[in-house]
């Protein structure tokens, strides 16, 4: 079964420096029908104006993944990390017993556009942690690239949950098949372009819950990039 979540149906937060769209309930946006899917709790698509950003704030017991689509973010946290996350980088932060961090647009002239994703960990009270990975600048298109896993290989970032995140770039007419193990579910988010999923058309910002299926076929309609979450 595929259940579509259109971009226009998402919640939103708008501030002078921020345009944020929420796939699931977040902050002041609450929809009892949209409070996550499996262990996936948050997908926020954020556009931050030059010089704007999130001042220091805390998190606990959450696996937080940031994928920068355009521009760059400057990150600081309470465990000593200070980094710039450019477009094409993926960051993983384990909040665990508690972490305080800030994220600001690194540019004074260019917008920062990124996805922030929260996944619930398998256990509470983990030690806070941080990783950052630069994805290939010219990846092979039309294939699923594993970027986050609880059993990382090939440089994937590690999260403390039985979940995997794949990123796939598709040219028009390219397709890829994603197989799901029995009893597992998937969530698909379109980061760029337009695609077709088993004949269902999805555009940028759209998402889809997938359950009760052994797999799905994804085809590119225009130059597309999709995130696929393999979930318990």
Q: Global pTM?
A: 0.96
pLDDT given for residue 142 in this prediction: 86
The predicted model gives 97-120 an average pLDDT of 97
pLDDT given for residue 141 in this prediction: 85
pLDDT given for residue 99 in this prediction: 97
pLDDT band at 135 (very low <50, low <70, confident <90, very high): confident
pLDDT band at 155 (very low <50, low <70, confident <90, very high): confident
Cα–Cα dist 133/223, whole Å: 23
When the pLDDT of each residue in the chain is averaged and rounded to a whole number, the result is 95
With 0-12 / 13-18 / 19 or more C-beta atoms within 10 angstroms meaning exposed / middle / buried, residue 76 is middle
Give the containing element (helix H, strand E) for 18.
strand 18-22
pLDDT band at 171 (very low <50, low <70, confident <90, very high): very high
Q: Is 8 helix (H, G, I), strand (E, B) or coil?
A: helix
pLDDT given for residue 200 in this prediction: 96
Phi-psi region of 125 (alpha: psi -120 to 50; beta: other; left: phi over 0): left
Lowest mean pLDDT among 32-36, 126-130, 132-136, 202-206: 132-136
The predicted model gives 141-149 an average pLDDT of 92
Percent of the chain whose predicted confidence (pLDDT) is above 90? 91
Percent of the chain whose predicted confidence (pLDDT) is above 70? 99
pLDDT given for residue 30 in this prediction: 97
Quick check: 114 and 69 in contact, CB under 8 A? Answer: yes
pLDDT given for residue 151 in this prediction: 87
In DSSP terms, which residues pair with 104 in a beta bridge? 53, 74
Eight-class DSSP state of 136: P
Ramachandran angles phi, psi of 27, nearest 5° = 60, -130
Lowest mean pLDDT among 13-22, 54-63, 134-143, 179-188: 134-143
Pairing of strands 185-192, 89-94: unpaired
pLDDT band at 203 (very low <50, low <70, confident <90, very high): very high
Quick check: 166 and 231 in contact, CB under 8 A? Answer: no
pLDDT band at 224 (very low <50, low <70, confident <90, very high): very high
Cα–Cα dist 166/185, whole Å: 14
What is the set of domains in the chain, with CATH numbers? Answer: 9-134 (2.60.120.10), 145-231 (2.60.120.10)
The pLDDT tens digits of the residues spanning 26-72 come to: 999 999 999 999 999 999 999 999 999 999 999 999 999 999 999 99
Cβ-based neighbour number of residue 54 at 10 Å:
16
């Amino acid at each position: 079964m595929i259940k579509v979540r259109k971009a226009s149906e998402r919640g939103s937060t708008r501030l002078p420096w921020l345009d944020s769209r929420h796939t699931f309930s977040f902050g002041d946006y609450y929809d009892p029908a949209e409070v996550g899917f499996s262990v996936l709790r948050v997908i926020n698509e954020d556009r931050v104006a030059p010089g704007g950003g999130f001042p220091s704030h805390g998190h606990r017991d959450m696996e937080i993944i940031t994928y920068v689509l355009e521009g760059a973010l400057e990150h600081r946290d309470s465990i000593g990390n200070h980094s710039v996350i450019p477009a094409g980088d993926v960051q993983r932060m384990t909040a665990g017993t508690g972490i305080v961090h800030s994220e600001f647009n690194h540019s004074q002239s260019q917008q920062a556009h990124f996805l922030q994703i929260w996944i619930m960990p398998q256990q509470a009270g983990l030690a806070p942690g941080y990783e950052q990975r630069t994805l290939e600048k010219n990846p092979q298109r039309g294939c699923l690239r594993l970027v986050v896993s609880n059993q990382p290989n090939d440089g994937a970032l590690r999260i403390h949950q039985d979940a995997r995140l794949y990123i796939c770039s598709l040219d028009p007419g390219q397709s890829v098949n994603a197989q799901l193990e029995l009893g597992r579910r998937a969530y698909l988010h379109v980061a760029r372009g337009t695609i077709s999923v088993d004949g269902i058309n999805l555009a940028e910002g759209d998402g889809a819950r997938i359950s009760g299926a052994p797999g799905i076929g994804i085809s590119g309609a225009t130059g597309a990039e999709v995130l696929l979450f393999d979930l318990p």
